[in-house]
């Protein structure tokens, strides 16, 4: 029989506390990585939306738009596609010193409504 219970509590704490600390640090790293990915998605969405608005002549933003994201456009039939790409950098310091680089991409589409209506009227004519 164990007569001293304080010693067993110290041993349990010595085993459980590092595991709890490791779990908390892991959750912090996962949440930081998710935050960086969501921030990059939002920046891409804003940049592509502004580029599509400027291309169609319907929208312009004076602030809160990222300038360091590359956007390119291509045309396919009745719509124009705007592509945006950004490299997501997630760097860690300390014991786990390495970085994660991931290419993020998004697309936005512009439909030429006048051509769409003209073609739909032309092809929808009945007998």
Positive or negative, the CA dihedral 30, 32, 36, 42 is positive
CA neighbours within 13 Å on the CB side: how many for 45? 6
Task: Return the pLDDT at 103.
Answer: 80
pLDDT for 37-61, tens place per residue? 888 888 888 888 888 777 777 776 6
* Count of Cβ atoms closer than 10 Å to residue 40 Cβ: 20
Tokens of 21: 């600390």
Q: Is the pLDDT of residue 107 over 90?
A: no
Predicted confidence band at 92 (pLDDT cuts at 50, 70, 90)?
low
Instruction: Determine what percent of the chain is predicted with pLDDT higher than 90.
Output: 9
pTM for the whole thing?
Answer: 0.63
pLDDT for 67-85, tens place per residue? 777 777 777 777 788 878 8
> Which of 52-56, 60-64, 108-112 is predicted with the least confidence, judged by mean pLDDT?
60-64
Where is 85: in which H helix or E strand? strand 79-91
Task: Return the pLDDT at 24.
Answer: 95
């Amino acid at each position: 029989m164990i007569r001293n219970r304080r010693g067993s509590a110290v041993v349990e704490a010595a085993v459980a506390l590092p595991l709890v600390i490791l779990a908390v640090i892991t959750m912090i790293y996962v949440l930081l990585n998710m935050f960086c990915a969501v921030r990059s998605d939002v920046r891409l969405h804003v940049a592509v939306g502004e580029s599509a608005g400027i291309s169609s002549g319907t929208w312009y933003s004076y602030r809160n738009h990222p300038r360091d994201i590359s956007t390119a456009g291509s045309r396919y039939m009745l719509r124009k596609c705007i592509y945006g790409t950004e490299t997501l950098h997630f760097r860690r310091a300390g014991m786990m010193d390495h970085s994660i680089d991931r290419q993020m991409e998004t697309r936005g589409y512009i439909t030429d409504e006048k051509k769409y209506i003209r073609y739909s009227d032309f092809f929808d004519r009945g007998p």
